[in-house]
Chain A
Amino acid sequence: MRLAQSFALAAALAGLFAGTAVAQQSDADKDWSKVVIGTEGAYPPFNFLDASGELKGFDVDIAKALCAEMKVECTFVTQDWDGMIPALQNGNFDALVASMSITPEREEQIAFTNKYYQTPPAIAVPKDSEITEATDATLSGKAIGAQVSTTHAQAAAALFPSADVRQYPTAEEYKLDIENGRLDAVMDDVVVLDEWLKSDAGACCKLLSTLTADPAIYGKGVGVGLRKGDDKLKTMLDDAIVAIRENGTYDKIQKTYFDFDVYGKEPAAQ
């Protein structure tokens, strides 16, 4: 029996290496009648699980609208944030709709559609905080929380090098830790912070200021992530984004979540 196990393990490992060595394939021969969409489910109001365990949020509704527009059948899977890109590359899902910013580092790994929203980052502090503005001097030595592997964590380290940036697995944990008084500030998307501050859980804190997004870190807004080579799916999605923007579906979805335009002023980069 040990021999059989040895065989199975060796074969599995060989398969693993073969898998990483596979070159990018074109999707020209796929019909894309079914698309699996990956999202995080822990980033309200963009994607989250409601009390009954159902996926909700702006990302989810936009994804559904895009699928309806493309007339494809979509199923959703949830995936931890820091395993998002490998899971997409391994084929656990085909499209990543999880508020992921289109950054140069990520573009080396995966492809993105044009942006479907673009909102600035912001900083929140406890209500009794003595910090009055977000500069490196005022935040020197202070603990700033952000979600691991996000543009916000990267930007916090770049903008406030003298601060102590702490990275949490999901947004839930840094919210808990600023309530508990372990953090002096948290940094995330302004919409995410705003939603939280309006809820009971966010009663501890207030918005300090909105920051200008550095394009070198934040890239070109938030897009749908795709495997490199899936050009046909990319074209379908890009067209669908334009279509829902034009036919009013986008505005209808955005109004159920926000009272301002999250698409951003800048047009989609071509």
Chain B
Amino acid sequence: MSGNNPALAAPAAPREKLKPAGFVAIGLWIAVAAAFAFYFVRAFDVTLIERFGWSYLHGLWVTVSLVGVSFVLGAIVSLPVALGRMASNPIAQGLAFAFVYFFRGTPLIAQIFLFYYGFGQFRGFFETIGLWWFFREAWYCGLFSLALNTAAYQAEILRGAIESVPKGQWEGGRSLGLSRQVIFFKVVMPQAMIVALRPYANEIILMIKASAIVAIITVYDLFGETRQAYSRTYDFQTYVWAALLYLALVEALRHATNWAERRLTRHLKR
């Protein structure tokens, strides 16, 4: 448990003295920052905000809702997959392994193309089984691929976290006469979730950025709206805005994770 206690972390290495080259490098970086600030202030154009402000907010909402919903769906799918990965049954193990192998091993862009354009070729089949309304919409297709993709990653996070909980916790639970379900959900999972918190936050951050890919299947997320704005103005500050909005999203998430970690590990502080 020492890993969760900052007081026990190794002391930071003493700071090295800046050498002349270091000063030059820092000077260069300051120059870059100044150039960027100068560019942005000079290029800043209020009429662009009037023209595209609402579409950026709309795009931000599409990105947030897409990532939020697919993350939750992915979490639900990841539980049986993680259990399958840890199962002793070779069929369950094989299926779970194949799922993770495919979704982690192929590019997200290929998966999205496959689900959007590929499934579109089997319209008759999907109409027969009554699922065409789902695969007809680009937003659902994006959601579907993002959810399955993140499920594969989340399954691995979950498996690693569950396996990191010492065997003694299972044994202790059993000696108290608890059922397997109770031990799993009330003893092991809460401890595993603390270990999994950081990797989960990492996964959401990766998803926020990866979700920009849905712009190519006609979903106007933040990046899609940015491309629209850029195509009308040819002004690079449209991309700067998008970058700042993505940065703000990730930054908010980082703070939320820090807060959650502090809250969840209170009992481990001494």
Q: Name A residues whose Cβ lies closer than 8 Å to a Cβ of B.
A: 3, 6-7, 10-11, 13-14, 17, 20-21, 82, 85-86, 105-106, 108-109, 145, 148-149, 154, 166-169, 173, 176-177, 179-182
Contact = CB atoms under 8 A, between A and B. Distances in A.
Contact of A180 (B21, B35, B123, B232): B123
A13 B37 CA distance: 13
Give the 4 A-B residue pairs with the shortest CB-CB distance, closest first.
A180-B120, A149-B231, A10-B28, A166-B218
B32 A177 contact: no
A176 B120 contact: yes
A166 B217 CA distance: 9
Given A14-B31, A82-B231, A148-B231, 19 more contacts: A7-B25, A10-B31, A10-B32, A13-B36, A14-B32, A20-B39, A105-B233, A109-B234, A148-B227, A148-B228, A149-B227, A166-B138, A167-B218, A169-B216, A176-B117, A177-B218, A179-B120, A180-B121, A180-B123
Interface string B218-233: 1000000001101111
B236 interface: yes
A60 B55 CA distance: 37
Given A14-B32, A17-B32, A173 B39 contact: no
B136 interface: yes
Interface residues of B, number: 27
A85 B136 contact: no
B21 A177 contact: no
Interface string B11-52: 000000000011011001101100110010000000000000
A10 B22 CA distance: 13
A167 B123 CA distance: 21
B228 to A, nearest CB: 7
10 contacts: A3-B25, A6-B25, A7-B28, A17-B32, A17-B35, A17-B36, A85-B234, A169-B216, A176-B117, A180-B121
Interface of B: 21-22, 24-25, 28-29, 31-32, 35-36, 39, 117, 120-121, 123, 136, 138, 216, 218, 227-228, 230-234, 236
Contacts of A11: 28
A14 B28 contact: yes
A188 to B, nearest CB: 15
Given A7-B28, A148-B231, A166-B218, A182 B120 contact: yes
Contacts of B21: 3
Contact of B117 (A82, A85, A109, A177): A177
A7 B117 CA distance: 44
A208 to B, nearest CB: 21
A214 to B, nearest CB: 16
Contacts of B39: 17, 20-21
Contacts of A86: 234
B233 to A, nearest CB: 8
Contacts of A10: 25, 28-29, 31-32
